[in-house]
Amino acid sequence: AQSVSQHNHHVILSEAASLELGCNYSYGGTVNLFWYVQYPGQHLQLLLKYFSGDPLVKGIKGFEAEFIKSKFSFNLRKPSVQWSDTAEYFCAPRDDKIIFGKGTRLHILP
């Protein structure tokens, strides 16, 4: 069965720290990969996406993610986080249907 796993449920970092949020999926074949973010009090919004081509994709606000096909992973990274990055982050692979992970709550200490 299709599934997605986000490794961390809660992450607390200080400003300027580096961030990596893990995401693994169980799909085979062609997969589209998404990271969504939900800032406090706001709607879910797309952070970045991978369809094909360069496995390193860049999104909004300095985020990037790397698709590693052999590891079925699509980890989200940011070199230096800001307090405004406090949010919940969802990994969402799509085969014929999109499936969201359980989310990672990121809290950045000022």
Partner 1 sequence: DAGVTQSPTHLIKTRGQQVTLRCSPKSGHDTVSWYQQALGQGPQFIFQYYEEEERQRGNFPDRFSGHQFPNYSSELNVNALLLGDSALYLCASSSPMIIETQYFGPGTRLLVL
Can you give the binding site for partner 1, defined by CB under 8 A? 32, 34, 36, 43-46, 49, 51, 90, 92, 94, 96-103
Q: C-beta of 66: minimal distance to partner 1 in Å? A: 19
Name which of 35 and 73 has its Cβ closer to partner 1. 35
Q: C-beta of 59: minimal distance to partner 1 in Å? A: 12
Which amino acid belongs to residue 2? Q
Name which of 35 and 81 has its Cβ closer to partner 1. 35
Distance CA 110, CA 98 (A): 34
Name which of 34 and 74 has its Cβ closer to partner 1. 34
Distance CA 91, CA 6 (A): 7
Q: C-beta of 101: minimal distance to partner 1 in Å? A: 5
3-state helix, strand, coil in the chain (%, to 5): 10, 50, 40
Query: 11 near 104, Cβ under 8 Å?
Result: yes
